[in-house]
Amino acid sequence: LAQRRLLVRSTRSGIAAMRGTSVSSRSPSVEVRAVAVGDKLPAATFKYFNSEGNMKEITTEQLCKGKKVVLFAVPGAFTPTCSMKHLPGFIERADEVKGKGVDVIACVSVNDAFVMDAWGKSVTAGDKVMMLADGNAQFTKALGVELDLNDKGLGIRSRRYAMLVEDSIVKVLNLEEGGAFTISSADNILEALGA
């Protein structure tokens, strides 16, 4: 699969131009690059509820060190595409995915742990898909995949993606444009795993 890179360039002069003002040509710029194949996952901490109903924390290192992990993200819990297609696809195909040597399948969303737990229960994720809350978008921002949905009243969310991670290194990345759902399904991951 082709490596996907997104460069977002934000400059003070660009902001000034939007405001109708000007700044010197020596203004600094900031480049934000989206995660790519070959990258190590950034350090982050997720919240989740375990099977006993206790809120727990897990770091990216604890989640991925020495393991093969399928990590997929959705723009929001309980939203139509996420609830009717993306998450259910991974629940339905979990045994096949894990049969290809995957240790953990985890769903990430910029929601709180209570919402992620309720959503997981509503679709019977059980022990098939770990429901991880990236409540303050720490992980999402570190990956460079944030999605501004302020105009829809949803704030900052994550672009939709599915990735295969081995020992914290991204091996396969299917990163969607915005909230599209064309290349990040469980079927796409199974294809990448050689199903």
Active site residues: 82
Residue located via tokens 């990448």: 192
Assess contact for 182 and 108: CB atoms under 8 A. Answer: no
Q: How far is Cα 172 from Cα 189, in angstroms, rounded to an integer?
A: 8
Question: Rounded to whole angstroms, what are the CA distances from 63 to 44, 59, 164?
Answer: 10, 6, 13
4-14 core/surface letters (b: 16 or more CB in 10 A; e: else) = beeeeeeeebe
Reduced to 3 states (helix: H, G, I; strand: E, B; else coil), residue 144 is: coil
Q: How far is Cα 64 from Cα 59, in angstroms, rounded to an integer?
A: 9
Q: How far is Cα 81 from Cα 76, in angstroms, rounded to an integer?
A: 9
Q: How far is Cα 129 from Cα 158, in angstroms, rounded to an integer?
A: 18
